[in-house]
Structure 1
């Protein structure tokens, strides 16, 4: 099946104070594009990664506002369907600062009235986290937690969630009930612990339960909630398998790659028809919206939108008076109070220093003075003090850029900042005394690969700034944000934005190489990328070096950043 690539320009988002964000947004009130409802209307979150709150200019609101928005929209559109496509961990202190990780965030998540959810890879890296997600979220949500290709060992292999669910909607003028056969799938993830089993999608769709559901259940539309990028290979495998059993309209709800995207397949190039998909970004910045009308057995139409998560915009779409005091529902108030207590309990507002300027991931060229990668490689990683007795002193430290989850923005460096920028609790390991020539060749090898762990399943293309869509006259008065081009066109963002540059990142970065007269160095890296280092050594004909792998010790990047902030970024109030 042939799919066109979506193009997306990813803006850099400033995280100002809550009051400042709301005031600026109100002053600039952009012309918002209205949402189009349909016979079937889908609202989606995905890849929240512990972000239960946004407090910047472009995005502003919290988990309670989402609950209130959903309730108001259900009154307006009673047939609304509300889904989440997974990845609730690794990216914010609300989920990552607790012991165990996700202790509080799992409770917040499961109180949101989703109609169905699926599991992401970040729920499955760790044995303890995977078990707690199953016990505290999957079992709590029951048949709303869908997982067609993930199993957990509980004395025997059990499905991680319900295999599928038929969801009914009946508030239609013709009095007829519509039924949505809904599945949940994870991409072909293979970095899970031993108590988890993930069946490849191409094999899962051959299993009898899947075929029986398509053949025997009564339904009008098929929906697949996938922690899968819309343009990754697993969705074509699902589409092909479903189209062998039914020609009914198919809706895909994607995730994992942190982009806004939408697809519509209408039989071009002899491909499948009546397939529509939405993917709603990341970090509670975006709510995906997809509507579908079935006007006849052979005729469908659809619309999509990307909703900026800002309380003013949410009120606009809910037809709610922005000055009316009754926006917050009982559930919304409860979730906001719980979130506030969690942040206080975890000391997420504790300040360690004040960042003097913005350091960007994709928003700045690397290497460069505004690049977060340059700051990490040149200033922060060299402060690592290992505890291994055999370290020589001459060393090179490598880390993967996928471990850097967000920009480091000007302002207070708090406990939460560390989890926003670098949430992963990895351990340093090293290969002692390897020859300098091999050390020189490892980073280029890693950066020739399509991606390394954490860098994403798919990477969006950059929209060049010289494109007519971005003339300065057209962006006057707009806030920074996403400018998305997908299969439907470039009018999907509900709020027009101006887009900052988007630069591709290397897979990995390293500290400066020692002088040329050094013949041997210690190679230091996170244990998380050890398989890729081993692969590189095999490719360089030095697999024997990997046999030397041992613990290096020292603080993780989260702690190194904290120490750097305390030493170099004094707050001057």
Structure 2
């Protein structure tokens, strides 16, 4: 089925132009902005070369709509300033380089293409999530793709993706353990479809035989009409055992599932019962981290980060003693792309016609959707987890003590004389908020969720004030029971697709590794003495420690600081002279309504609260809070022409 194009006609007609307005070819690798503010600083001495093999894979995962790249000047954003057009050019150069080297190069994506930035989420009426951004993804020719959980939260999104995007992969989009039901023709009984194909077998340009699967973790949050089979049950299916009987040169498995602490070992072990030594290359995703592990000496699993920050690289050599592996994590920017493609820097021959066309068309969509609309100008950077919560640069502090009191506590005129407090979860914030223009695109980036504000009215403050501690489980009569309850809650969240707690734990671990005086740190420093000599030129970025040997990051960085934040936060109570017996409105996000009701009933016996006591407080969602605040407080700060 052909795409129904939503790309503006004026943009489409521009065609495959060989030049693009806004590009200064004297700068070559500079991003397409007048001031070149997002060019990564530091020269090539900070970059590590890729190790090639007989078969190499470029991997993306969890793009979440970031096709226009990271557009802010504050670090680490310039490290990831390459857009989808730049990536298309990079892939073209790398495929040519692979052909010149006589090796096979495959391109793999592991799912979650939308939910997180304006180009996928800021669509006009009549579309669904990712409908237009998927068209840009399809312009890059992938060898293998698989489905993520974000493709499956809403049935209309899942069905649209299956009908419009999956056919563009020409049999290379796999949903090995995912089915979707749809009404039959002429209103007949529902028909169940595999979400793409179960598996695919193909031959590389170099003549190597590949058997591929596409596996989703045991996701329980899919919409009605969509089923996800537990991978542990999938490997017992007849089709699976039939698919793996024939021995290929390599099993290539894409999966929206972390390479560690999930069920990839189940899949590997099932294959190993039939083929004990056949190489297996696994490209995972979902937890947004850079990670690598080896399940045995004949296999490797790689996870390539998130948000078009990281391009994964896995290289394998076929030897008489079995395969050897190498991996890298490429910072997604034009400087690094050109370096790895063997081009000079600066260079005016990096951009391909396809890459320029993609960038031009994306900019056209962004203009048509008004994604650059400025709500106001942020006076400083606000960090999600780079500083402690009591720091004035903390985004959670800013949201709790300034934004929520300004735009939510005052948003119900019928309750304006009643004191209130607002409870939100820190997980409702997804990204840093950077200084400069706060745009419509930033609205989707910083807080892309659409949880509504509800409330319970007239709760005695002596009980209302205790809810936040109960939500954060600060107090418990049994520490063991509390830990067990938290573990169970985390498992349930993970099964429904929540991964922020995993990414946060990883960032904390990476920060500790990079800043401690351990032997591992000293070993890492010795790996690249030339870059260590230029420590003063390092910028903030990922400093990755995984389970695979050698240095993974292609760029030497200073580690991003990390500070923990509580799961839930509460704004200051409004009103004056509020005492323990003063009744207040308790405002909260809709998804914790059951928790709030349960906590209130546990705190007192005077009244039995139910969900019937919960009502809508206003018409807003958590996604609206920063535009509202920016229009009220930042609108007169003056537009910043150097910020996007």
More moved, 384-393 vs 63-72: 384-393
Pair 462,540 (structure 1): closer, same or farther in 2 beyond 3 Å:
farther
Alpha-carbon deviation of 1:151?
1.5
Distance in 1, Cα, partners of 2:579 & 2:237 = 58
- Cα distance, 1:46 vs structure 2: 0.9
Partner of 1:62: 83
3-state SS of paired residue (2:136): helix
2:191 is the counterpart of 1:161: no
| Structure 1 residues 120 and 506: alpha-carbon distance in aligned structure 2, compared to 1, 3 A threshold | farther
TM, length-normalised to structure 2 = 0.78
Secondary structure of the corresponding residue to residue 244 of structure 2 = helix
CA contact under 8 A between 1:481 and 1:499: conserved in structure 2?
Answer: yes
Q: State whether residues 21 and 60 of structure 1, in contact with CA within 8 Å, keep that contact through their aligned partners in structure 2.
A: no
Q: Distance between the aligned counterparts of 1:191 and 1:535, measured in 2? A: 23
- Which residue of the partner structure matches residue 269 of structure 2? 240
Relative to structure 1, the CA distance from residue 218 to residue 484 in structure 2 (aligned partners, 3 Å threshold; closer, same or farther) is same
Greater mean alpha carbon deviation, residues 317-326 or residues 521-530: 521-530
**Quick one: distance in 2 between partners of 1:532 and 1:221?**
48
Give the match for residue 128 of structure 1. 156
Are the aligned partners of 1:256 and 1:456 in contact in 2 as well (CA < 8 Å)? no
Q: Deviations over 1:362-382 (max 9, x none)?
A: 211113211101111111122
Which secondary structure does the structure 2 equivalent of 1:132 belong to? helix
Secondary structure, aligned partner of 2:588: strand
1:431, distance to aligned residue in structure 2 (A): 3.5
Which whole-Å CA distance do the structure 2 matches of 1:380 and 1:83 have between them?
41
Select the residue among 492, 495, 500 that pairs with 1:455.
Answer: 500
- 1:175-324 aligned at under 5 Å gives the runs 177-215=207-245, 217-247=246-276, 248-266=278-296, 273-296=297-320, 299-324=322-347
Counterpart for residue 525 of structure 1:
588
Report matched runs for 1:87-98 at 5 Å. 87-98=112-123
1:372 maps to: 395
SS of the aligned residue for 1:398 comes to strand
Report which stretch shifted further, 520-529 or 362-371. Answer: 520-529
* Structure 1 residue 433: Cα displacement: 4.3
- Tell me how large the CA RMSD over aligned residues is: 2.8
Structure 1 alignment gaps of length 5 or more: 1-15, 172-176, 267-272
Range with greater deviation from structure 2 (134-143 or 536-545)? 536-545
State the match for 1:77 in structure 2.
98
Change in CA separation of 1:251 and 1:421 when aligned onto 2, cut-off 3 Å: same
The match for 2:516 is: 467
- Structure 2 SS opposite 1:137: helix
Q: Is the 8 A contact 2:44 2:339 kept in 1?
A: no
CA contact 1:320–1:327 (8 Å) conserved in 2: yes
Match in the other structure for 1:571: 637
C-alpha displacement of 1:244:
2.8
Structure 1 SS opposite 2:620: coil
| Mapped partners of 1:156, 1:388: distance in 2 | 50
* TM-score normalised over the length of structure 1: 0.87
Q: Is the 8 A contact 1:431 1:546 kept in 2?
A: no
Contact 2:447-2:622 at 8 Å conserved across structures = yes
The one of 63, 68, 76 aligned to 1:48: 63
Q: How does 1:390-401 map to 2 (within 5 A)?
A: 393-401=418-426
1:174 matched residue in structure 2: none
Describe the shift of the 1:300–1:454 C-alpha distance in structure 2 as closer, same or farther (beyond 3 A).
closer
Distance (whole Å) between structure 2 residues aligned to residue 538 and residue 181 of structure 1: 55
How far apart are 1:534 and its partner, in Å?
6.5
Kept in 2, the 8 Å contact 1:401–1:455? The answer is no
| Distance (Å, rounded) in 1 between the aligned partners of 2:596 and 2:257 | 26
Please give the secondary structure, in 2, of the residue aligned with 1:25. Answer: coil
| CA–CA separation in structure 1 for the residues paired with 2:165 and 2:598 | 36
Change (3 A) 1:92 1:554: same
Q: Distance in 2 between matches of 1:487 and 1:32?
A: 21
Say whether the 8 Å CA contact 1:146–1:161 is kept in structure 2: yes
